[in-house]
Structure 1
Amino acid sequence: MAYSKDYREMILKKLEDGHTYRQLALEYQISTSTIQIWCKNIDGVERQFKPTKIDNKTLIADVELHPDDYHYERARRFNCSDRGISKALKRLGITQKKDIKPSQGGR
C-alpha cells in the first residue's frame, strides 16, 4: 500500500528541518531509499504499461493450432512473457502431453 501524500510531505519537512535519513527511517520504519525517492518525486512513480491478460479462447485456439510449440514461441505471438503463458496454460488446465506409447522403432 502506498503512503499518503500528507505523510510523505511530513517526513520530507522533517528532513528539511535537520533530521537525517537514518533517523527518519528508524523512527517511521521505512527505508532510507524510500525517503530518497520521495525527495526526487513526491508524487510517486506511474506505471508505464498496462498489464494485459491473455484471452482464454485465443490461447486455446493457439494450442490447437500449434500443439507442439514451446512457451517462448507462444509468448512471441501473444506479446508477453514465457511465465505469463505458463500461468495461463496452468489456469486452463493445459499441461505438457506425455506419450506413453512405446516408440515405433523399438522392440
Structure 2
Amino acid sequence: MATWFDVGVASVTRWIKNIYRKPQGLRRRKIDLDALRQDVLDYPDAYQYERAKRLGVTQNAIFLALRKLRVSYKKNTAASWDERRRTAFLPGKNQGA
C-alpha cells in the first residue's frame, strides 16, 4: 500500500491505527482591531513581535490582523539616506494633516 501511493510505511501504519479524524479546534483571535489600529498610529516603526507583546497575542495573529487592516509599510523618503526608516501606513487615515 505504501509503494502504491508513494508514501512511507510508517505513515500508512499511523493512518490504519487512527482511522478517525481528530476534531479541529475553533481558531479564535483575541485581538482587538481598534487597539491594533491605535497601536500602529502610536508606534508606526514597531516590529510585529513588539506589538504582539503589548497586545498579549501571538506574532502570527498580529501579522494576520495587519493584513486585515490593510496596513502597509512605506519608506520615509524625507529622511536622509542613513536615517531612512520604514513607517506604517493605514489606508483611509490622514497621516500628515
- TM-score of the superposition, structure 1-length normalised? 0.49
Quote the residue 1:43 is aligned against.
20
Cα distance, 1:55 vs. partner? 4.3
Q: CA contact under 8 A between 1:38 and 1:44: conserved in structure 2?
A: no
Quote the residue 1:52 is aligned against.
28
**Equivalent residue letter for 2:36:** L
**Equivalent residue letter for 1:79:** V
Quote the residue 1:80 is aligned against.
58
**Which protein has the larger Cα radius of gyration, Structure 1 or Structure 2?**
1
CA RMSD after TM alignment: 2.9
Question: SS of the residue aligned with 2:19?
Answer: coil
Q: CA contact under 8 A between 1:75 and 1:85: conserved in structure 2?
A: yes
- Please state which structure has a larger fraction of its residues in helix: 1
Cα distance, 1:78 vs. partner? 4.0
- Please state which structure has a larger fraction of its residues in strand: 2
Q: CA contact under 8 A between 1:71 and 1:86: conserved in structure 2?
A: yes
Question: SS of the residue aligned with 2:73?
Answer: coil
Cα distance, 1:63 vs. partner? 1.3
Structure 1 runs not aligned, ≥5 long: 1-23
Quote the residue 1:68 is aligned against.
45
Structure 2 runs not aligned, ≥5 long: 81-97
**Equivalent residue letter for 1:95:** S
Distance 2:33 2:6 in 1: 41
Quote the residue 2:3 is aligned against.
26
Question: SS of the residue aligned with 1:90?
Answer: helix
